[in-house]
A and B are shown apart, each in its own frame.
Chain A
Amino acid sequence: MQFLLAFVVVAPLLGAVAALLPAPPGLKGRNPDQAVLRHGVTVTGAVLLAVLVLAAGFDHDHPSKMQATTDISWIPALDVRIHLGTDGISLPLLVLTALLTFLCALHSYFKPPAGPSPKAFVALVLLLESGTLATFAVLDLLLFFLAFEMVLIPMYFLIARWGGDRKQPAAWKFILYTLLGSVIMLLGLLLIGLESGTFDMVALATDNGRGLTTSVQVVAVLAVGLGLAVKTPMWPLHSWLPDAHTAAPTVGSVLLAGVLLKMGTYGFVRILLPVTPDGMQTFAPYLAAFAVVGIIYGSLACLALARPGAKGDLKRLIAYSSVGHMGFVLLGIATMTPTGVNGALFANIAHGLITGLLFFLVGAVKDRYGTADLDTLAGATGAALYGRAPRLGGLLAFAAVASLGLPGLAGFWGEMLTLFGAFDPAEGLSRPAFLTYMSIGALGTLLTAAYMLIVVRRVCMGEQREQPHPVDDVRRHELAAWTPLAALTVLAGLWPAVLLGLTDPAVQKLLAGGKS
């Protein structure tokens, strides 16, 4: 077990190095490009397999216990230990990351990215995977920071090299913004570590903030929260996200939305809630306020983009919808109740699945039409995807209604639980304030439904004109990449206990600290 978890983190790293080396004889493939892309599929596939075995071997009766733990000293001078482990909170995220990266590798194998040599592309995707998996697997604050930083360089290059229009400014905005956030976060992490005498997350969570004075906690939450909020992203720190998504290649967008954003919210749950509860208590109402502003803002921005004549880019629209969805996640965390936090974690996974699928679909639309601009696509009446490419249109409509939170699909439970959490926030938080947030959030779900339906109407419906060039429907490899996401969306929607059974005990323990 512990070997598997270590393997999951290290294998992509080794794979990234191997991708840069010339292919050994026997694995040369048809040409070097094909060989290296296949190498990417193999490595991510092996990692996915390892994660699935890990999930199967996970003791589902005790999801609150850290399992598959490794704990060896690495840098005694800084008290940094290679402490790995997974519990009910991180396991779903590990699976999600491994799955999405594998699907991305598969997608690029059949449709190589447009840009320079795929060699570097594969190496960067693997490096990115290693960084994200490490973020979810490590249990040491400084190691967490290291993993958090590890994704920056690969993502920068993915956007700057394989991106679309205005990729350079977008890539710069992404890396400078998030780096500033994470360096500030480092200061907060150091403050926590130095004041409490340990960087170990498990020990700190068991301590539940008893070793830290309230003022230290407040400063720490401010610094760490700022870094995490940039990554999440929380309104008003989100402005890097739409640009990055618009410019990024399909694979980059999928990983950015599906996995990278989760690192921010995961940090809130794993570090801030258990380690600095008093500080969180102070900031929770503000966090919730920013979260609901984000929900409304994201929806309104999407509505504006979806309007005819607004020249809205579909990728940009989904990016803004992410701001709204992550608003729900933050609202759930800010309630500081098991219900809310469970909802947040659920919404996290659901957003990864659905938005990942949406970005894949929009990428496919962009490939076929050469543009993701809604007005150009839709023309006067609509793009009529139902008529021209029924399967693609159907999947897009499916992903859109999943995203708006239709009951029975994954998007529903997260939003419902976070709103439910806000209905009855933790002790010491102002109930009227949270009731207000709840009703604003509920309004947000309505607005989300509005813009998603507008998008479906403009892209999928419409008069079927004589098209200048035929549009391919879903190809086989695309189906292979998308089916798992769609199936999991349905599964999580119909059987939420799969996830909640894992997260709930862990969340209960996290919020109670050493008391339970």
Chain B
Amino acid sequence: MTVAADSAPGAASLVQSVDWLAIAPPVIAASVALIVLVADLFVGERHKPLLGYGAVAGLVAALATLVPLRAGDRSTFCLTDGSQACSYTADHFALVIQALVLGGALLTALLSVGDTRKLPAGEFWFLLLASAAGAALLPAARDLATLVVALEVASLPAFALVGIKRGDRRSSEAALKFFLSSVVATAVMLLGVSFVYATTGTMHLTEIAARLDDVPGRLSTLAEAGVVLTLVGFAFKTAAAPFHFWVPDTYVGAPLPIAAYLSVVGKAVGFSGLVLVTVIGFPSYADVWGPSLAVLAALTMTVGNVAALRQTATRARSAVRLLAWSSVGQAGYLLVPIAAAAYSSDEQIGSTVAYALMYAVVNLGAFAVAALVARSHPGNRLSDYRGLYATRPLAALAMGFFLLCLAGLPPGVIGLFAKVTVFSAAVDAGLGWLAVVMAVNVVIALYYYLRWTAALFTAPEAGTQSGTAPQGPGHRVPAPLTLAIVLTAVAGITLSGAPQLILRFAAVSLF
């Protein structure tokens, strides 16, 4: 796979021709969002579910437009002064992340289709699609202004989505917590961006990279501060420690599909922004962000895994809480190759992308099974999963598989090899200490993943047997939910047989 990142030849003309195909994925998502919002006004109460299927169709269409783009050589909104800097580039990195976020949004939509009766349908689908559009725009953005706008487009609807359960105090509190901490982070990031702009005089990442090399001596402190502050904003979205404290409460308060969305798409937004600013924007400051990201990664995985370890099984919503903490731990692994890129080459980024793809599939799968279990056990405790194999053998097997993938042990082969690529990035970059910290974390994480897996297969207690009895024919599983579980399980098993499908991104330069 060769990378041809050349920009379109017509950059010299003053009137820009927009490459509509290149920007199709986010544009389609955004337009369908608006269509759904307007259509909501005209659709009768009885036909509201159609909005959900419309949203699903829109996301599928957006995903389909990625196919003709797969050569990865298009870019648009370029500067006309011959510097070849473009604001929107659909290179391989952008396409893979777009596939990830749109696919993630699609699965979230499938999880929600059966659930939106309690929620305002029109707003819900509009917000979800709008957020997905922002998330799809972000990885292709190549200047700081577009990045910030995309980040906000992805985040603002997410606040509303978290708080969409009307009259639920926990939901509103979660939304407020999420909103306040996110806004602070955005403010800090904007400050950083303005510092960087002040020192370099440009917004385009490639230009910044060139000009940061020779910043005048008196401005170098300002530039460094700008670099660090910009990273903080993205670190927040990735839920890296110490910016992770909003995660558990937000996930627990949000509707379950939205928690799934945040854990996958929200994280993808954060780390792809981080990748763009570090690797493309600030390569000359690798000695600043490299070590700090390495420390951040070690801290994040340790905090997440240790906290996940301490979840008690009988507490209300402990399943979601555990998934929330485990997602913090996983974010730590995602940061490792980015830190490694500072020490060796950009190709390490591919490990992050491959790991994120694996994580997206299996984490969404785990959330899908959690949504299934939550239908009969609204408390969502870990202890509700005890004996799941006896009542729903296939769901239990799928859940066990997803959890072992997250833990990285066979039969979750893809999880194992995704971890191997991350380890190999760290070893390759000479970050031996980080690799060892990660090794210890993998062992810690295994404990809680395996404890959960083991609970799935234990015989249900005699007492709870009678409690679960009423869930017979009354609880028919909606088809979209089943479809989501089947899709993720099939994807996970296929990838376990042929890991090359996603690991190929780990071996090449994506830009």
Residues of A that sit less than 8 Å from B by CB = 20, 74-78, 80, 116, 120, 127, 131, 142, 145-146, 149-150, 152-153, 156-157, 160-161, 172, 175-176, 179-180, 183-184, 186-187, 190-191, 193-194, 219
Nearest CB on A from B451, distance (A): 9
Given contacts A146-B413, A194-B424, contact A78 B443 (CB under 8 A): no
Partner of B417, one of A78, A131, A153, A191: A78
Rounded to whole angstroms, the CA-CA distance of A131 and B409 in the bound complex is: 12
Residue interface mask B372-414, A partner, CB < 8 A = 1: 0000000000000000000000000100000010000111010
Partner of A190, one of B423, B436, B499: B423
Given A77-B354, A78-B506, A190-B428, 17 more contacts at CB 8 Å?
A77-B505, A116-B459, A120-B457, A146-B417, A150-B410, A152-B410, A153-B410, A153-B411, A156-B450, A157-B454, A160-B454, A176-B443, A179-B446, A183-B439, A184-B436, A186-B420, A194-B428
A190 touches B427 (CB 8 A): yes
Rounded to whole angstroms, the CA-CA distance of A160 and B447 in the bound complex is: 14
Nearest CB on B from A103, distance (A): 25
Given contacts A120-B457, A175-B450, contact A75 B423 (CB under 8 A): no
Rounded to whole angstroms, the CA-CA distance of A80 and B498 in the bound complex is: 11
B119 within 8 A of A: no
Contacts of B504 in A (CB 8 A): 76-77
A-B pairs, 7 with minimum CB distance: A77-B507, A77-B503, A183-B439, A150-B410, A190-B427, A180-B443, A75-B500
A149 touches B410 (CB 8 A): yes
B238 within 8 A of A: no
Contacts of A186 in B (CB 8 A): 420, 423, 439
Rounded to whole angstroms, the CA-CA distance of A186 and B450 in the bound complex is: 20
A180 touches B439 (CB 8 A): yes
Rounded to whole angstroms, the CA-CA distance of A142 and B500 in the bound complex is: 14
CB nearest neighbor in B for A184: B439
CB nearest neighbor in B for A127: B411
B436 touches A187 (CB 8 A): yes
B454 touches A187 (CB 8 A): no
A142 touches B420 (CB 8 A): yes
Given contacts A153-B404, A187-B435, contact A78 B424 (CB under 8 A): yes
Rounded to whole angstroms, the CA-CA distance of A402 and B434 in the bound complex is: 47
A131 touches B410 (CB 8 A): yes
Residue interface mask B437-458, A partner, CB < 8 A = 1: 0011011001100100010010
Nearest CB on B from A150, distance (A): 4
Please report which residues of chain B, range 280-311, place their CB below 8 angstroms from some CB of chain A when the two chains form the complex: none
Please list 8 pairs of residues, one from A and one from B, whose beta carbons are closer than 8 Å in the complex, sorted by A's number: A75-B499, A77-B354, A77-B500, A146-B417, A149-B409, A150-B411, A179-B446, A187-B427
Nearest CB on B from A193, distance (A): 8
Contacts of B397 in A (CB 8 A): 20
Tally chain B residues at the interface, Cβ within 8 Å. Answer: 35
Rounded to whole angstroms, the CA-CA distance of A138 and B60 in the bound complex is: 41
Contacts of A184 in B (CB 8 A): 436, 439
B216 within 8 A of A: no
B440 touches A194 (CB 8 A): no
Rounded to whole angstroms, the CA-CA distance of A130 and B454 in the bound complex is: 21
Rounded to whole angstroms, the CA-CA distance of A219 and B409 in the bound complex is: 25
Contacts of B411 in A (CB 8 A): 127, 150, 153
A176 touches B447 (CB 8 A): yes
Most A C-beta atoms less than 10 A away, residue of B410, B428, B436, B459? B410
Nearest CB on A from B425, distance (A): 10
Contacts of A127 in B (CB 8 A): 411
B421 within 8 A of A: yes
Nearest CB on B from A257, distance (A): 22
B416 within 8 A of A: yes
B432 touches A187 (CB 8 A): yes
CB nearest neighbor in B for A130: B410
A194 touches B416 (CB 8 A): no
Nearest CB on B from A471, distance (A): 33
A75 touches B443 (CB 8 A): no
Contacts of B439 in A (CB 8 A): 180, 183-184, 186-187
Nearest CB on B from A152, distance (A): 6
A194 touches B427 (CB 8 A): yes
Contacts of B505 in A (CB 8 A): 77
Partner of B503, one of A78, A145, A150, A219: A78
Rounded to whole angstroms, the CA-CA distance of A486 and B430 in the bound complex is: 51
Nearest CB on A from B309, distance (A): 12
B443 touches A179 (CB 8 A): yes
Given contacts A153-B410, A187-B423, A191-B427, contact A76 B507 (CB under 8 A): yes
Partner of B446, one of A142, A160, A175: A175
Contacts of B424 in A (CB 8 A): 78, 190, 193-194
Residue interface mask B123-162, A partner, CB < 8 A = 1: 0000000000000000000000000000000000000000
CB nearest neighbor in B for A120: B457
CB nearest neighbor in A for B393: A20
B459 touches A180 (CB 8 A): no
Nearest CB on A from B460, distance (A): 12
Contacts of B499 in A (CB 8 A): 74-75, 78
Nearest CB on B from A439, distance (A): 38
Please report which residues of chain B, range 469-511, place their CB below 8 angstroms from some CB of chain A when the two chains form the complex: 499-500, 503-507
Nearest CB on A from B172, distance (A): 40
Contacts of A176 in B (CB 8 A): 443, 446-447
CB nearest neighbor in B for A152: B409
Nearest CB on B from A181, distance (A): 9
Contacts of B354 in A (CB 8 A): 77
Contacts of A131 in B (CB 8 A): 410
CB nearest neighbor in A for B508: A77
Rounded to whole angstroms, the CA-CA distance of A186 and B416 in the bound complex is: 11
Rounded to whole angstroms, the CA-CA distance of A156 and B451 in the bound complex is: 11
Nearest CB on B from A131, distance (A): 7
CB nearest neighbor in B for A74: B500
B416 touches A190 (CB 8 A): no
CB nearest neighbor in B for A219: B432
Contacts of A183 in B (CB 8 A): 439, 442-443
Rounded to whole angstroms, the CA-CA distance of A175 and B450 in the bound complex is: 10
Contacts of B421 in A (CB 8 A): 77-78
Nearest CB on B from A53, distance (A): 27
